Amino acid sequence: MISKKVLLAVVVSLASFVQAGTVVRDQVEPQQYLTIKADVEKGTISKNIYGHFAEHLGRCIYEGFWVGENSDIPNIRGIRKDVVEALKKIKVPVLRWPGGCFADKYHWMDGIGPRKDRPAGINTFWGGVIEDNSFGTHEFMDLCEMLGADPYIAGNVGSGTVEEMQEWVEYMTADIGAMAQLRKLNGREKPWKVPFFGVGNENWGCGGEMSPEYYADEYRRYQSYVIPFPGNEGMKKVACGPGGEDLHWVEVVMRKAANKMDAITLHRYVFTGSWDARIGKGSATSFTRELWVKLMENTLRIDQNIDNVVEIMDKYDRGKRVELYVDEWGTWWDQEPGSHAGFLYQQNTMRDAVSASIFLNSFNEHCNRVKMANIAQINNVLQAMILTDKEKMIVTPTYHVFELYAAHHNAKLLESELECNPLTGSEKKVQSLTVSVSKDDSGTVNITVGNIDPENSAELVCDITGISPVSVVGKVLAGEQMNSHNTFENPNDVKIEALSNIKLDGRRLTVSLPPHSVSLINVK
Ligand code: AHR
């Protein structure tokens, strides 16, 4: 194991020889280095990397968004105002719906027409509760319009028919024909724009337990009828990809169907326990330093996971036309004690926030292939942005990470290099910092940095070439403890604050980053 001291000595002696533009490093006790080439752009970070996911699961849709027009909770056409207002601040670019596992049992026609006539079904995947279909296609599209988000629809392959999928696409996007007529009767004259359509979800699991060969054939058949109508010509057809590291699935689906897809998905959930329910995934709020480190190790594997998937994609898609959508990702903990079984309701601490910063920095770094990512899920489920308790609402530390990272939306990824210490106590010698750097349209360089170390501040020295910086400001999200989180009683325990220990001297920036923190630094 590399000791911190040895690594530091190597870094310092190397650093004194490194010429960074006009900046020459010296030996002034820097602990960790970042070099940024502000004139070397490596790609564009799609804003859709900051996408979200809303499933008919627990209280994500019902209560999280939908309260109905007659609710005492302030709402617009049944959709709660406070949640929409909060989400507008993080600029939700795209929203995936209606699942998840729920997508492959969803029959869209149950969710249109007068609400009183819609059939009640049972949500067999999630909690066995009544699904009264009061939130359907029109309500979802209304929500997207309120948020200013693009809709990403997940179609039903597992238990739906080709005809049903074809008619849904027609209902949403055609201007003529029987389905368009029905939509108009239901109150929507103009077709909607649906830029993304998923052909199934986790079809290796809850979406029909298919083999990759069988799914690839089914994908080819279903997608033939996902026909974009005028105004929706660019609609991306999205094939189901693997859960984590199932590379065989990617290999087969890409080999058999790459030429018929615009994107393939990847799902990646992280925790410290096991998928085995007898063991459990771990508590969201009560954990040791060792479990903190374990989660960070698991999260950091996302880089390799993406690289492995992309390597196979490259084999069958040499022109790199097919995009990768990480359309479910995040932490997955044991449900909060006392919450409804099957609702996947969990709290969200600074550990989740730092994990999110690792994921998002990784997606940024892979922005030439990763064109969309959707954290699971937006309200009240898994690594949520928003938690509600009837009329009460709070935002989580992860919400604040999305707020900070909005600086990267559609910005140019810049070349940067990080030399940092390994995290003490990590058998896998994981890095103690995670960084991503981009330049926005105004020329501002935005640096997002997570301090993965749960106990120690990080003294970061950053040399910038390619621009002549004149000012620097920063914001930080930290909390007192590594498990700090917001509650309905104490909703602002974790919040964004100004980053005070930051200074610019010529092209050199120095900053002290608190333990277990996520920061945004803007250099002009
Ligand atoms: O996000 C919860 C579930 O996780 C989704 O429904 C499913 O796609 C995945 O297994």
Query: Which residue among 61, 126, 202 is best mutated to probe the pocket of ligand 1, counting the most ligand atoms within 8 A of its Cβ?
Result: 202
What is the C-alpha end-to-end distance of the chain, expressed in Å?
Answer: 39
The structure tokens listed for 299 are 């999260």
Of 177, 264, 172, whose CA–CA distance to 215 is shortest?
A: 264
Q: What is the pLDDT of residues 301-325, one digit of tens each?
A: 999 999 999 999 999 999 999 999 9
100 lines ligand 1 (CB under 6 A): yes
376 lines ligand 1 (CB under 6 A): yes
Of 425, 426, 499, whose CA–CA distance to 462 is shortest?
A: 499
Do residues 415 and 464 lie in contact, with contact meaning Cβ atoms separated by under 8 Å?
A: no
**Strand, helix or coil for residue 122:** strand
Nearest CA to ligand 1 atom 2: 100
d(CA 485, CA 347): 8
328 lines ligand 1 (CB under 6 A): yes
Q: How far is the CA of 457 from the centre of ligand 1 (A)?
A: 36
Q: What is the pLDDT of residues 395-442, one digit of tens each?
A: 999 999 999 999 999 999 999 999 998 988 777 788 999 999 999 999
Q: Give residue 7's pLDDT.
A: 40
- Atom from ligand 1 closest to the CA of residue 202: 8
The string of DSSP letters for 265-293 reads: EEEEEE-SS-SSTTT-S--SS---HHHHH
Q: What is the pLDDT of residues 47-66, one digit of tens each?
A: 999 999 999 999 999 999 99
Of 156, 180, 174, 92, whose CA–CA distance to 377 is shortest?
A: 92
Long-range contacts from 77-83, C-beta under 8 angstroms, 24+ separation: 77/139, 77/142, 78/134, 78/135, 78/139, 79/139, 79/142, 79/143, 79/146, 80/388, 80/393, 82/393, 83/379, 83/386, 83/388, 83/393
SS3 string, 355-403, reads HHHHHHHHHHHCCCCEEEEEEECCECCCCCCEEEECCEEEECHHHHHHH
Q: What is the pTM of this model?
A: 0.94
Q: What is the pLDDT of residues 92-133, one digit of tens each?
A: 999 999 999 999 999 999 999 999 999 999 999 999 999 999
d(CA 484, CA 113): 45
Q: How far is the CA of 99 from the centre of ligand 1 (A)?
A: 7
Task: Centre a 10 Å sphere on the Cβ of residue 87 and count the other Cβ atoms it contains.
Answer: 25
Query: pLDDT tier at 495 (50, 70, 90 boundaries)?
Result: very high
Helices 350-365 and 397-405, interaxial angle, to 10°? Answer: 30
